[in-house]
Amino acid sequence: DAGVIQSPRHEVTEMGQEVTLRCKPISGHDYLFWYRQTMMRGLELLIYFNNNVPIDDSGMPEDRFSAKMPNASFSTLKIQPSEPRDSAVYFCASSPRDRNYGYTFGSGTRLTVV
Amino acid sequence: AQKVTQAQTEISVVEKEDVTLDCVYETRDTTYYLFWYKQPPSGELVFLIRRNSFDEQNEISGRYSWNFQKSTSSFNFTITASQVVDSAVYFCALSDLRTGANSKLTFGKGITLSVRP
């Protein structure tokens, strides 16, 4: 199994630009999570999906952030427009139906907004 | 509300020393799960262990061991005979099974462990 695949690994963009982060979960996993990691706030859950349906997006910081999961094998997190304070590492994770088995995280996308 | 406290922020040890990483949690739920994750310098998050609230048995996996004590709401992690490769940030996390909610992981702030040769 290739694990959770995120792309790109690094993204540098200018303030105001649209940024799209991508994630391919492990095949067969029912749950997908987007986390953000910053020095100040640590690891924060942004949103999670169950069977492609968003369940809880209360962690999405503001309307500039949106996430979709059009099918079981793909999800995107979009920031439009991006701001310097969005700079962080964004992790995608997936887990099977036995959801407390423990998430498998992707390698993360390091986003820098200048 | 759930909360995970990792009071130690940075620990530095010399190789072969034993080191314990502390984790204290808060939850109102009677059913919950506790986790430890490792984040090496390369940045990925590696799952180490899951423990449910009904199983207080300690667990040992090679040089790693975990001590779960509900009486003190703690889930501590010990590395025996530490090695340089153990240098990483270690996160403790908590999830609950409240009706309608999935097991959103609440993470502690992490402990940076440095093992010197």
Could you read off the pLDDT of A42-92 as tens digits, one per residue? 999 999 999 999 988 989 988 999 999 999 999 999 999 999 999 999 999
CB proximity B108 to A under 8 Å: yes
- Asked if residue B77 lies in contact with residue B92, where contact means CB atoms within 8 angstroms, the answer is yes
For the segment B92-97, the average pLDDT, to the nearest whole number, is 84
pLDDT digits over A37-47, tens only? 999 999 999 99
pLDDT at B97: 66
Q: Is A93 left (phi over 0), alpha (psi -120 to 50) or beta?
A: beta
3-state secondary structure B89-103: EEEEEEEECCCCCCC
- Lowest-confidence region among A20-29, B46-55, B73-82: B46-55
Spell out the residues 6+ positions from residue B66 whose beta carbon is closer than 8 angstroms to its own. B36, B49, B51, B58, B59, B60, B75, B76, B77, B78
Is the pLDDT at B101 greater than 80, yes or no? no
pLDDT at B80: 97
For the segment A4-9, the average pLDDT, to the nearest whole number, is 96
In terms of C-beta distances under 8 Å and separation of at least 24 residues, what long-range contacts does B86-89 make, across chains too? B86/B113, B86/B115, B87/B40, B87/B41, B87/B113, B87/B114, B87/B115, B88/B38, B88/B39, B88/B40, B88/B41, B88/B112, B88/B113, B89/B38, B89/B39, B89/B113
Beta-bridged to residue A37, according to DSSP, are: A43, A89
Structure tokens given for B40: 């090496």
Spell out the residues 6+ positions from residue A45 whose beta carbon is closer than 8 angstroms to its own. A33, A34, A35, A56, A59, B104, B105
Q: Which residues of chain B neighbour A93 with C-beta distances below 8 Å?
A: 45
Is the pLDDT at B95 greater than 90, yes or no? no
Mean pLDDT for chain B? 90
Q: Do B47 and A56 touch (CB under 8 A)?
A: no
Q: At A81, is the secondary structure helix, strand, or coil?
A: coil
Indicate the pLDDT class of residue B16, thresholds 50, 70 and 90: very high
pLDDT at B98: 57
- Which of B33, B96, B102 is the best mutation test for A, with the most CBs of A within 10 A? B102
For the segment B98-109, the average pLDDT, to the nearest whole number, is 68
pLDDT at B41: 92
Nearest to B104 among A48, A91, A110 (CB): A48
Burial class (CB in 10 A: 0-12, 13-18, 19+), A25: buried
pLDDT at A73: 95
Burial class (CB in 10 A: 0-12, 13-18, 19+), B46: middle
Indicate the pLDDT class of residue A101, thresholds 50, 70 and 90: low
Q: Is the dihedral of CA A102, B47, A59, B72 positive or negative?
A: positive
- Which of B104, B106, B109 is the best mutation test for A, with the most CBs of A within 10 A? B104
CB proximity B44 to A under 8 Å: yes
pLDDT at B99: 37
Is the pLDDT at A100 greater than 80, yes or no? no
pLDDT at A1: 63
* pLDDT above 90: percentage of residues in chain B: 68
For the segment B57-61, the average pLDDT, to the nearest whole number, is 86
Asked, as a colleague might, if the bond just before A81 is cis with ω within 30 of 0, I would say yes
Indicate the pLDDT class of residue B100, thresholds 50, 70 and 90: very low
For the segment B77-103, the average pLDDT, to the nearest whole number, is 83
Q: How far is CA A51 from the centre of its chain?
A: 16
CA–CA dist A49, A67 (Å, integer): 10
